[in-house]
A and B are shown apart, each in its own frame.
Chain A
Amino acid sequence: MTALDVLTRVSAQADTEPLIRWIWITDHVDEIVSRGLQHVYLTVVAVVIGFLIAFPAAVLASRHRWAVSPITSISGVLYTIPAFAFIFLLLPITGLSLTTVAIPLIAYTLLILFRNTLSGLDSVDPDVKEAALGMGLSRRQLLWRVEVPLATPVIVAGLRIATVSSIALITIAALIGRGGFGQFILDGLDTFFWTPLIVGVVLSVALAFLADILLLGLQRLMTPWAKAAGVRAVAT
């Protein structure tokens, strides 16, 4: 029997499989919830740690411009390494663990959050900064009372992008069994069983959508003075 015959026989089965078997969903609620939690956990870790690194880096770079180029280059390289490859590069070092997923995710969010935070800080009207300094605000007061509040829309826009991208990226980690909803997608693909595949796709997109809306609401809450229409985030 040739490889082609095997494939053909297997795929004949694939063709007849219906798109959704609802039974499967009700049978697997527990797993859906635990995968969901894993997905959310990884997202939070990636974005929070990424932000904890990127924010001070951006503040530093806004004051000392020489730092912009090296930081952008390093995070740019990390960002360009495909998560898929990055995970497997780390595998021998950190093994089959959440860390192996978290590190590439953080590398990815770093660039987005650094560039957006820096861009936000840079976009503060220089007249406002000059007047604030002229009035006698110290540099620390200038940063926290003027620059950061005014940069908030752009920073939150960066958080939105980083969050949504992370949620999508986590699915790749299904290859080492830690992909949140992505696990269902991979299972479906491997076994030609469509139900988990569709469930995985729908849930990860829904999660991304939900996160985006929540962060957008957060942004609106934090900027009562912004009546003007939307803030454009830095294209990454």
Chain B
Amino acid sequence: MNGLLEGLQWLVDPANWSGVDGVPARVWEHVQLSLISLAIATLIAVPLGLWIGHTRRGQFWTVQLANLGRSIPSLAILSIAFLLVVKLAPANHQELAFGFLPTIVALTLLGIPVILINTYVGVQQVDPDSVEAARGMGMSGGQVLWRLEVPLAMPLIMTGLRLAAVQIVATAGLAALIAGGGLGRYIVDGFALRENDRIVAGAILIAVLSLLTDAVFSLLAKATAPRLTSSGRASAPARIDVARGEVTPPT
């Protein structure tokens, strides 16, 4: 418990809130890294996922990709991104390999599988009868997609974005390992300088930021969810609890 207190004490010390290594600066770096990566991942994965879900092609490989994404450690992705940039960057621009660029690459790669699979499943699980009826009414493929499938797929798409965002925020902390910025700096520097309070403070900040990200995206998801009942509340069907022999009437 001592350690946590130290961390909190570090956080309330106003000296740590100013300057290039201050809390606001580092938080902003962290958010920047995360947002940019999330945005790029979304721009790549969402259209692709929509296409796969709508046309039902390439589903097998998508699932394999998602499984693969789950099994490659984020540390590995970061390292490989670093390695790639080192090898590919021109000789007089080696500094590109540190910090920003490989981190963005790694975080983007991290986010793509989650967003892709959730988007694809979201579109694919739209009731095929509704889709068929829409086509029968004369909607073009694009109209079916935008007016029917996307709105109904929003909850799962938002789930994908939320999960990716949290994962990206969490992993952005590793950027510090390759001389990058962000909240991971506190942990890595704290380790090097043997300043435990700094380490714990960094950990607290990352944890809080992750939880906030989750909360923000949950709210966004609620805001974009399609309305399926006139009362606005999700309805529950009748339930039979056979074990207790009670039937709950539907709400």
- Whether the complex brings A and B within 8 Å at their CB atoms is answered yes
**Contact B94 A11, beta carbon cutoff 8 Å:** yes
Contact of B91 among A15, A165, A167, A209 (CB under 8 A): A15
Closest to B80 in A: A201
Residues of B contacting A50 with CB < 8 Å? none
Say if the beta carbon of B243 comes within 8 Å of chain A.
Answer: yes
Residues on B with C-beta less than 8 A from A84 are 170-171, 173-174, 184, 187, 203, 206
Nearest CB in chain B: distance from A84 CB, A = 5
Contact call A165/B70, Cβ cutoff below 8 A = yes
A189 within 8 A of B: yes
Identify the closest chain B residue to A89 (Cβ). B203
Q: A89 and B204: CB pair below 8 A? A: yes
- A-side binding surface: helix, strand, loop or mixed? helix
What is the count of residue pairs linking A and B with beta-carbon distances less than 8 angstroms?
Answer: 162
Q: Report chain A residues within 8 Å CB of B137.
A: none
What mask results when residues 174 to 206 of chain B are scored 1 for a CB within 8 Å of chain A, else 0? 100111000010010001000010011011101
Q: Is B207 at the interface (CB under 8 A from chain A)?
A: yes
Q: How far is the CA of A129 from the CA of B239 in the complex (A)?
A: 13
Question: When the two chains form the complex, which single residue of B73, B91, B118, B214 contacts A185, counting CB atoms closer than 8 Å?
Answer: B73
Chain A residue contacts of B94, Cβ below 8 A: 7-8, 11-12, 14-15
In this assembly, does B6 line the interface, its C-beta being within 8 Å of a C-beta of chain A? yes
Residues of B within 8 A of A4 (CB): 95
| A158 contacts the other chain (CB 8 A) | no
Distance between Cα atoms of A154 and B87 in the complex (Å): 43
Nearest CB of A to B185, in Å: 13
CA–CA, A212 to B71, complex, Å? 10
Partner of B3, one of A81, A93, A139, A200: A93
Kindly state whether residue B20 has any CB partner on chain A within 8 Å: no
Tell me the complex Cα distance, A7–B163, Å.
35
CB-CB under 8 A from B79, the residues of chain A are 185, 188-189, 197, 201
Number of interface residues of B (CB under 8 A): 58
Is residue A194 within 8 Å, beta carbon to beta carbon, of the partner chain?
yes
Q: Counting CB contacts under 8 A, is A172 at the interface?
A: yes
Closest to A188 in B: B79
Could you say which residues of chain B place their CB within 8 Å of the CB of A197?
79-80, 83
Q: B207 to A81, Cβ gap below 8 A?
A: yes
Shortest Cβ gap from B239 to chain A (Å): 9
User: Is B82's CB within 8 Å of the partner chain A?
Assistant: yes
Q: How many residues of A contact B (CB 8 A)?
A: 58
From A81, A129, A192, A197, residue with most partner B Cβ within 10 Å: A81
Q: Are the CB atoms of B196 and A11 closer together than 8 Å?
A: no
Q: Is B91 a contact of A88 with CB atoms below 8 Å?
A: no
A185 contacts B76, C-beta separation under 8 Å: yes
> Which B residues are in CB contact (< 8 Å) with A192?
86
Please, how many angstroms separate the alpha-carbon atoms of A51 and B31 in the complex? 34
* A185 to B77 Cα, complex, angstroms: 10
| Residues of A contacting B98 in the complex (Cβ-Cβ under 8 angstroms) | 7, 11
| Contacting residues of chain B (43-81) with chain A, CB-CB under 8 angstroms | 67, 70-76, 78-80
With A and B bound together, what is the CA distance between A165 and B163 in angstroms?
14
Q: Answer yes or no: A91 CB below 8 A from chain B CBs.
A: yes
A-chain residues with CB within 8 Å of residue B184 when the two chains form the complex: 84
**Cβ of B211 and Cβ of A85 under 8 Å apart?**
no
Q: Which of the residues A12, A129, A174, A212 comes within 8 Å of B75, measured between beta carbons?
A: A174
A194-236 Cβ-contact flags toward B at 8 Å (1 or 0): 1001001100110011001000000000000000000000011
Are A12's CB and B91's CB within 8 A? yes
- In the complex, the answer to whether B200 meets A91 with C-beta atoms within 8 Å is yes
Closest to B118 in A: A235
Tell me, in angstroms, the Cα distance from A93 to B80 when the chains sit together.
33
Known: A165-B70, A168-B74. A89 touches B207 (CB 8 A): yes
What are 14 pairs between A and B in contact, CB < 8 Å? A15-B86, A63-B243, A81-B211, A84-B173, A85-B170, A88-B203, A89-B207, A91-B199, A169-B73, A171-B74, A172-B73, A185-B79, A205-B71, A208-B72
CB-CB nearest 4 A-B residue pairs: A92-B3, A82-B170, A208-B71, A88-B203
